[in-house]
Structure 1
Amino acid sequence: MRAILFCQNNYAFGILNPIKEVLIDKGYEYLWFIPEKISSSFPYKFDNYTTSITRLKQFSSDAIFVPGNEVPYYLRGLKVQIFHGLAGEKKGHFRIRRYFDLYLTQGPYFTKKFNELKDIHRDFDVIETGWPKLDVYAEDKTRYKKEKDEILKRYVAKTIILYAPTFSPKLTSAPFLINQITELAKNSDYVILLKFHPLMDNKLIKIYNDLANLHENIIFQPENNIIKFLLIADILISDTSSVIYEFLLLDKPVITFRNISDFKKYWHDSDDYNNLIGLVEANIRKDPFAKNRKIINGLFHPYNDGQSALRMVESTENYIKANGVPTKRKLSFLRRLKIHKIFR
């Protein structure tokens, strides 16, 4: 099987790399697609990759793994949607854009929703596999323990707090928590890691970067893959972001602000931007939502065996064996036009 790992944003690197490892183990050929605008941040420079759509056409793939919303319809290969997050409440998560032949879902909540949509559209299939980005949780949750211990020792601190807001202007808490994060940093027991989405407003990034320069125990993290910081942190502060579910799966407390999810009752959500310090203290001391996390895990990602990437590749293999590689998809003129505008 020949496969394309199709990236549109740099957060896709950590999602697709476990699939690449499975492809290598199976002896399959693969090719990354990296847009020129993010090529400088691509961490696997010794892998097979290209920035050229023409090169992708020449590669003549059997499958294309896509953790984004669009993929060129004219490329050969089974178009496989593998998703870029777990936030089903985000606008567009369950939108059917007609580009994909196969949806590989993360857990029962997503599988049920996409099977309902499959019954309506009747031009794609759904298989539940788990999500490859989280395979690392099964491998070694303590892989960064030494680094965590060094951070706590360096700052003579007790707790590492991760602030990871969404970039969406309507949903982000970043403009409203600047003063609260500043006040939180006055407690020397805390080290605060700032991890912003690559698409976050540059003005907000600068404000928080400046904040980190003023406070020794605030650390701005430019690294793309957030998994490391999820594993290191003791508690997460966010808003409406997929990272919430990724952190809950580690069985650690989460605080959000004005989250729009139907599941927010399972962690500590607040409408009051001025109560961050009290919320952090309460969740560190009492962890009042500890029992609720198991419910979320069962619905969103019940797989803890580290084999989601393998299931994705094998599901794709079996699907192609049974159905062949699709030669075309029925798309509207506007959908085709959109693809040509994005990928020229």
Structure 2
Amino acid sequence: MTTPDSSKRYLLYGSERYALAILRPIQAAIRARGDEAAWFFDGPGAEDLVEGERLLSVAEVRAWKPRAVITSSNAVPHFFPGVKVETFHGFDAGKPRHIYVRGFFDLYCTTGPRDTAQFRAIADKVGHFSVTETGFPKIDPFMREISGPLPPVRQPPVILYHSTFSPSWSAAETLYEEVKRLSRDGRWRWIVTFHPKMNPETTAKFKALQNEYLTFAENDNILELFPQVDMMCSDTSSALNEFLLTGKPVVTFKNRRPGPQLIDIDDPKEFEPAIERALARPPALMQAIRDYANAIHPYRDGRSSERVLDAIDTFIAGGGRNRRRKPLNLWRKLKIRRRIGYWGRA
């Protein structure tokens, strides 16, 4: 567990580049308290650290003895010191395995009431992790930026097209011809961005569509694009829930969990009229978006990162343990050791 000399050290652990956008607000909150943050990556992302951000090796992490390891990944090395904390890498978009306990974490910091209730029900049953609702750290800077009234639709309107990488849920190939057609008549401007795990062939096809009306963006943080657009088109991506927090409409194709907050279609022929409806911002739709945003993330103060740190303090002050031990998890632990290349003692 923790030791006195590591009480103000936090390790930020990433497996993908998007971990930077999620965990950097926590790093800022740690530094604002006069404490220390360092990073460890077992996948892409380390190359994008900037001056002043510290990268550690496995041996350095173990010697540094962080009081907590904070991650947006689904797993974390059990042999790293400190409380293991999960902040998630997005909202529940209706995909399988979002509400899924993998046996690695001491503390789950949930994004809003819906996830909190589901994880607490599991925690009450299994007893080997705790749950605190904090909000989503990734959107702290974003929440501060979008305070105020919703801006009017631009002329011409700007549309963000984003698709999940999961082949079963992605509409990118299905809607490709429609995006191609609609991005050439000049009525609307388009920004296209995909998950980094998207099929490279699909990504290449959309990049090839670039013209004066369509831009392909490769931002690590999709939130940077939200203020630039008037609506979003997607499928079953967790990013659409982040976008709904702006109060702007979303058109989806065969969404896994459609509701009144979305304009969901199941035929490419409906794509163009659905966009026209979204840009008209009908009052019933806009109210449904506001209601949904409050249900998934009621926090508007941009201080979710501080709540994560407070939750860690409270957990450690209470003894730093749950009522039951975590499962052995031998196969998953072996896979992490193999990925990181560490075979030493836990």
TM-score, length-normalised on structure 2? 0.90
Shift, 1:30, TM fit: 1.2
- Which residue number corresponds to residue 116 of structure 1? 121
1:13-63 per-residue CA deviation (whole Å, 9 max, x = no partner) reads 1110110001001111111112364333x143431123x222222221110
Task: Verify: 1:33 aligned to 2:55, yes or no.
Answer: no
Q: RMSD across aligned C-alpha pairs, in angstroms?
A: 2.2
**Counterpart residue number, 1:332:** 329
C-alpha displacement at 1:332, in angstroms? 2.8
How many correspondences in the alignment?
A: 329
- In 2, Cα distance between equivalents of 1:131 and 1:19: 10
Could you tell me whether the CA contact under 8 Å between 2:165 and 2:198 is conserved in 1? Answer: yes
- Aligned: 1:20 with 2:27: yes
User: Tell me, which stretches of 5 or more residues in structure 2 are unaligned?
Assistant: 1-7, 342-346
Report if the CA contact (8 A) 1:63-1:79 is conserved.
yes
Distance 1:115 1:286 in 2: 36
Q: 1:245 aligns with which of 221, 241, 247?
A: 241
Aligned-pair CA distance for 1:206: 0.5
TM-superposed CA distance for 1:142, in Å, is: 8.0
Alpha-carbon distance in structure 2 between the residues aligned to 1:138 and 1:165: 23
Q: Aligned pair 1:234/2:215, yes or no?
A: no
Alpha-carbon contact 1:88-1:110 (below 8 Å) kept? no
Q: How does 1:182-201 map to 2 (within 5 A)?
A: 182-201=180-199
State the one-letter code of the partner of 1:174: A
* C-alpha contact 2:19 2:45 (8 A) present in aligned 1: no
Conserved? CA contact 1:77–1:325, under 8 Å? no
Which residue is equivalent to 2:259?
Answer: 264
Matches of 2:110 and 2:197, distance apart in 1: 24
SS in 2 for 1:265: coil
The answer to whether the Cα contact below 8 Å between 1:137 and 1:304 also exists between their aligned partners in 2 is no
CA 1:57–1:285: 2 relative to 1, 3 Å: same
1:176 Cα deviation after fit? 0.9
2:136 alignment counterpart: 131
Listed one character per residue, the Cα deviations across residues 252-271 of structure 1 (whole Å, up to 9, x for unaligned) are 0000001112x533211111
Aligned to 2:306: 310
Q: 2:106 touches 2:321 (CA, 8 Å); kept in 1?
A: no
Residue 341 of structure 1 corresponds to 338
Shift of 1:119: 1.5
Q: Which consecutive unaligned segments of at least 5 residues does structure 1 have?
A: none
CA contact (8 A) 2:42 2:339 kept: no
- Partner letter of residue 25 of structure 1? A
Alignment partners' CA distance in 2, 1:205 and 1:142? 33
Q: Secondary structure at the match of 1:70?
A: coil
1:105 corresponds in structure 2 to: 110
> Aligned pair in 2 of structure 1 residues 301, 286: CA closer, same or farther (>3 Å)?
closer
Which residue of the partner structure matches residue 3 of structure 2?
A: none
* More off after superposition, 57-66 vs 181-190: 181-190
Counterpart secondary structure, 2:90: coil
SS in 1 for 2:28: helix
User: Which amino acid in structure 2 is aligned with residue 115 of structure 1?
Assistant: R
For residues 264-314 of structure 1, give each alpha carbon's deviation from its aligned partner in whole angstroms, at most 9, with x where no partner exists: 332111111232111111111243511111221122100001111111111
Partners of 2:119 and 2:60 lie apart in 1 by: 32
1:89 matched to 2:94: yes
Identity %: 29
Q: Secondary structure at the match of 1:49?
A: coil
Check the 8 A contact 1:163/1:194 in 2, yes or no. Answer: yes
Contact 1:166/1:240 (8 A) holds in 2: yes
Counterpart in 1 of 2:52?
46
CA distance in 1, matches of 2:35, 2:316: 14
Q: Aligned equivalents of 1:82 and 1:59: distance in 2?
A: 22
* 8 Å Cα contact 1:131-1:308 kept in structure 2: yes
Deviates more, 1:333-342 or 1:124-133: 333-342
**Could you tell me how far apart the structure 1 residues matched to 2:300 and 2:172 are?**
32
Confirm or deny that 1:9 pairs with 2:16.
Answer: yes
